[in-house]
Amino acid sequence: MPGTKEIRSKISSVKSTQKITKAMEMVAASKMRRAQDRMRMARPYAAKIRQVIGHLTQANPDYKHPFLVERETQNVGIIVVSSDRGLCGALNTNVFKSTLLLMREWQGKGAKVSLALFGNKSVAFFRRLGAPVLATAAGLGDKPTVKDLIGPVKIMLDAYRDGSLDRVFVVHAEFVNTMTQKPLINQLLPVEPVKDDELQEMWDYIYEPSAADILDGVLSRYVESQVYRGVVESVACEMAARMVAMKAASDNAGKLINELQLIYNKARQAAITKELAEIVGGAAAV
């Protein structure tokens, strides 16, 4: 029976691949749930600090913090958040695509673009592009913490402070639902004013010790929390995308096995028929 052995070994190799993709699918599903929880946990802080910033931009401090002041844009910083590992569909590609569009848009306006890269995939991709990279953070894992982000974010904040960046964006994947993730561009600096209708009259905080110190602390934390949100959301997206990709892979492997099984059966049948014909032919000859 020529060929049947090869087909059989092919079937078993596809089967073992299917086992792996199924396992990856299930692992991604459970990790996604945990990542979504973390996303939810980060929400109250982001909402509260946004509220505080909203109050801040409506208050009238005698001191204007540079993070709140719009200035002419000559240098743009972009923080790109990607996953560390592949096998998650078009997730990273989509993020990179919208990053490239954003870069081109600002380059078209004559601005220079520098990058900060989060995640191995973005490091590998943007290294080829040759744009200046100010900071990277790779290998954040499935449970990123704010602590891991302070360093790279500080580089961007410092660059903004000393005037070598005039605008900072973050690009990350947004978790719409399990099936849909889309890239999201978010302006970090200057901080865009947030509206809060609750407080209308003219008023101001008491600042202890000084407005400058507090604003700096609060605004840095605000930016960090925004980046943290991006990173956590990216992890959830990565897991969801991987789950979907691995499900498709398992389904395809199943289809392939069915097809191979059919071919195998046909080949086997053909061999038997041939043998029978030979026996009958041999008997007739005698």
Question: Using CB under 8 A as the criterion, which residues of the chain lie in contact with another protein when the complex forms?
Answer: 3, 6-7, 10, 38, 41-42, 44-46, 48-49, 51-52, 55-56, 59, 116-117, 123-124, 127, 133-138, 145-147, 150-152, 154-155, 158, 199, 203-209, 213-214, 217-218, 221, 224-225, 228, 263, 267
Burial class (CB in 10 A: 0-12, 13-18, 19+), 33: exposed
Q: Directed axis angle between helix 211-285 and helix 4-58, to 10°?
A: 170
Task: Name the minimum Å distance from CB 28 to another protein.
Answer: 20
Task: Name the minimum Å distance from CB 10 to another protein.
Answer: 6
- Is the Cβ of residue 6 or residue 105 nearer to another protein in the bound state? 6
Instruction: Name the nearest CA neighbour of 232 among 101, 133, 94, 118.
Output: 118
- Is the Cβ of residue 5 or residue 71 nearer to another protein in the bound state? 5
Reply yes or no on whether 237 is catalytic: no
Task: Name the minimum Å distance from CB 112 to another protein.
Answer: 17
C-alpha span between 260 and 38 (Å, rounded): 43
- Is the Cβ of residue 151 or residue 163 nearer to another protein in the bound state? 151
DSSP H or E run through 128: none
The tokens 């704010």 sit on which residue? 146
The full length of the chain comes to 286
Exactly one of 35, 88, 134, 232 is catalytic; which is it? Answer: 88
Task: Name the minimum Å distance from CB 243 to another protein.
Answer: 21
Instruction: Name the nearest CA neighbour of 234 among 27, 78, 31, 91.
Output: 91
**Residues noted as catalytic:** 88
